[in-house]
């Protein structure tokens, strides 16, 4: 933190794992180490403490943006976020909390526009957006920018889902394409069927009137 006036906390979905140990679309079991109630309590506590501590330590306005349409938790995640939103906004006037229910949504800050998406939705999308952008995804994102009249903004498309970090600033003339790591370690199923993986988070700095973004990735160490 270096005296910025605002800190934005962005959650790109799949924050909770599935209700009753299944994905949003059901039929796909997900072994859990917490039941629904314990997961709810832990999820709300984390969200409230994270935003409260950052606001207290920095003194800045804290704005939380949460993707609420994904393939692992969907409404379970929304319920957790609604509880955190109520607690935070009622107790701290310097914290605001937004829950996005659309598959793709956005918010604007000065010349910047941040387009938020998990990468897979709760119902329709059979093949999600890949960590390396393809023409199908590029066309959809450019359509979104055009329809929402964002063409003259400095647009950054931000997504999760693949848990692979890849920042592409050259894929399009009208947007950046940024993929982020998961905050948590990979599950036993993922590590067995794919690879061990990397978890962490990224701090991004943006300036008014400036197109450039500074990204600072952090990687957790775990066994």
Percent of the chain with pLDDT over 90: 73
**What stretch of H or E contains 69?**
none
Fill in the DSSP letter of residue 73.
Answer: S
Q: For residue 140, is pLDDT > 80?
A: yes
Please tell me the chain's helix, strand, coil percentages from 3-state DSSP, rounded to the nearest 5: 30, 30, 45
Contact 179, 166 (CB under 8 A): yes
Q: Tokens standing for 152?
A: 């003259």
Query: Comparing 33 with 44, which gets the higher pLDDT?
Result: 44
- Location of structure tokens 């501590």: 53
Q: Average pLDDT, whole number, for the chain?
A: 92
Mean pLDDT of 168-184: 95
Q: What is the pLDDT of residue 62?
A: 98
Q: For residue 101, is pLDDT > 90?
A: yes
The pTM score is 0.92
Sign of CA dihedral 69, 122, 120, 150: negative
Read off the pLDDT band of 33 (50, 70, 90).
confident
């Amino acid at each position: 933190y270096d005296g910025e006036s605002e800190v934005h906390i962005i959650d790109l979905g799949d924050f909770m794992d599935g209700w009753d140990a299944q994905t949003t679309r059901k039929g796909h079991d997900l072994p859990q180490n917490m039941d629904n109630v314990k997961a709810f309590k832990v999820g709300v506590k984390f969200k409230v403490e994270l935003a409260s501590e950052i606001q207290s330590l920095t003194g800045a306005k804290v704005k939380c943006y949460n993707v609420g349409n994904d393939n692992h938790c969907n409404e379970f995640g929304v319920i957790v976020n609604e509880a955190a939103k109520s607690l935070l906004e009622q107790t701290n006037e310097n914290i605001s909390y937004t829950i996005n229910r659309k598959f793709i949504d956005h918010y604007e800050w000065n010349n910047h526009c941040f387009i938020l998406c998990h990468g897979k939705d709760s119902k329709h999308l059979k093949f999600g957006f890949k960590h390396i952008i393809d023409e199908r995804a590029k066309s959809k994102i450019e359509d979104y920018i055009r329809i929402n009249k964002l063409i003259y903004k400095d647009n950054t498309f931000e997504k999760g889902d693949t848990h692979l970090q890849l920042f592409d600033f050259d894929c399009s003339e009208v947007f950046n394409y940024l993929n982020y790591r998961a905050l948590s370690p990979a599950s036993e199923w993922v590590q067995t069927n794919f690879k061990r993986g990397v978890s962490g988070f990224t701090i991004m700095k943006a300036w008014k009137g400036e197109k450039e973004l500074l990204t600072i990735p952090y990687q957790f160490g775990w066994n």
